[in-house]
Amino acid sequence: MNNIPSVNLADFLSDDPKRKEKFVEKIGKAYEEIGFVALKNHFLSDELVEELYKEVKNFFDLPLETKQKYEIEGLAGQRGYISFGKEHAKGKKEGDLKEFWHFGQEPSEDADLKEEYPSNVQVEELKDFNHVGMEAYRMLEKTGIYVLRALALYIGLEEHYFDHWASNGNSILRPIHYPPITEEPKGAVRAGAHGDINLITLLMGASTGGLQVLRKDGEWIDAIPQEDELVINVGDMLERHTNNKLRSTIHRVINPPKEEWDNPRYSIPFFMHPRSDMKLDCLEECIDEDHPKQYEDITAGEFLNQRLIEIGLAKK
């Protein structure tokens, strides 16, 4: 059952101001309540999604020694391959039952950010892997910018408030492979309960099931979108910036029942980060007598570094 609200980006892009306004209200309310929506009419074509899955599956099918060539020390897991079991949810000791890849930002010439972002790691064995990944990256970034515009309006900010911070931001596209489960996982799960670090996450592949979201009443519910929908949720950076008005909801990926252990799972989240110098200080629009300021001032870069240490990807 699909328990998360579904919204249609075509409403936001429509010339009819009423449709646009309705989209803003619906997505804003959903993020105050459950923190997740399913989005239709994003900018990823079916062909691109299909090609990306093909490349991603081919990559994870490569021999482990080949994949390990692309696991590069000193990048805090921010680019290239991250091996099985390495990442764990904040506060949990068991590693998640997953291996993954990170594509990072390739900023436009005029953005003056070349020095700041490490280069992407190029997979020699698969000639289309990198360019297909980056094409999807750009379409997800474009989709995310519209979602952030809707949220800016909902909060009472100027519509384009996030544009500068999120375009050429430090976003990450993360294809994940959850391999078949071959032995009793002893406390480990495909993805332990966590909130995402970033502003918003756009997730492809949740239609295969396994993703669960923690509702305010403490109940875990399945979040299973239609095949053509992206699941989009608010992350900790946006929760913090909006002084808890928009919620970064805890979610997890559960292990399947034993008779389905043979089935691998693939999913592809896009973690939309701002530029590192964005201040995440609680917005004045979100502070009043009933909602006093909840967080210390911090930049996106500082917040990310703290969190990468807490989840096992960066060293102190």
Please state the closest distance from residue 58 (CB atom) to ligand AKG, in A.
19
Asked if 199 interacts with ligand AKG (CB under 6 A), we say no
Asked if 269 interacts with ligand AKG (CB under 6 A), we say yes
Selection from ligand AKG, Fe ion, none that 176 binds (CB < 5 to 8 A by kind) is ligand AKG
Asked if 196 interacts with ligand AKG (CB under 6 A), we say yes
Selection from Fe ion, ligand AKG, none that 211 binds (CB < 5 to 8 A by kind) is ligand AKG
C-alpha dihedral (128, 141, 168, 245), degrees to nearest 10: -150
Give 114's Cβ-side CA count (13 Å radius).
4
In the chain, which residue ranges form alpha helices assigned H by DSSP? 9-13, 17-33, 46-61, 64-68, 129-155, 163-166, 236-241, 300-310
Please state the closest distance from residue 172 (CB atom) to Fe ion, in A.
12
CB atoms < 10 A from the CB of 312, how many? Answer: 19
Is the CB of 37 or the CB of 191 nearer to ligand AKG? 191
x-or-dash string of contact with ligand AKG, 146-185, rule CB under 6 A: ------------------------------x---------
Is the CB of 67 or the CB of 251 nearer to ligand AKG? 251
Please state the closest distance from residue 267 (CB atom) to ligand AKG, in A.
3
Asked if 87 interacts with Fe ion (CB under 5 A), we say no
Asked if 97 interacts with ligand AKG (CB under 6 A), we say no
Please state the closest distance from residue 270 (CB atom) to Fe ion, in A.
11
User: 253 has which bridge partners?
Assistant: 191, 211
Q: Which of 191, 200, 224, 311 binds ligand AKG (CB under 6 A)?
A: 191
Stretch that binds ligand AKG, among 107-115, 127-135, 203-211, 283-291 (CB under 6 A): 203-211
Tell me how many residues contact ligand AKG (CB under 6 A): 10
Task: Name the residue among 238, 168, 175 with its Cα closest to residue 203.
Answer: 175
Is the CB of 26 or the CB of 251 nearer to Fe ion? 251
Angle at the Cα of 138 from the Cα atoms of 233 and 273, rounded to 5 degrees:
45
Q: Is residue 249 within 8 Å of residue 235, measured between CB atoms? A: no
User: 45 has which bridge partners?
Assistant: none
Asked if 232 interacts with ligand AKG (CB under 6 A), we say no
Is the CB of 149 or the CB of 190 nearer to ligand AKG? 190
Supply the DSSP string of 127-150, one letter for each residue: TTHHHHHHHHHHHHHHHHHHHHHH
Look up residue 315 and give its two tokens. Answer: 């060293």
Q: Which of 211, 224, 230, 286 binds ligand AKG (CB under 6 A)?
A: 211
Rg from Cα positions in the chain: 19
* Residue with tokens 């909801």, as numbered in its chain: 249
Asked if 196 interacts with Fe ion (CB under 5 A), we say yes
Asked if 96 interacts with Fe ion (CB under 5 A), we say no
Is the CB of 11 or the CB of 239 nearer to ligand AKG? 239
Look up residue 239 and give its two tokens. Answer: 């929760």
Supply the DSSP string of 142-186, one letter for each residue: HHHHHHHHHHHHHHTS-TTTTHHHHTT---EE--EEEPPP-S--T
Residues that bind ligand AKG (CB under 6 A): 176, 191, 196, 203, 206, 211, 251, 253, 267, 269
Residues that bind Fe ion (CB under 5 A): 196
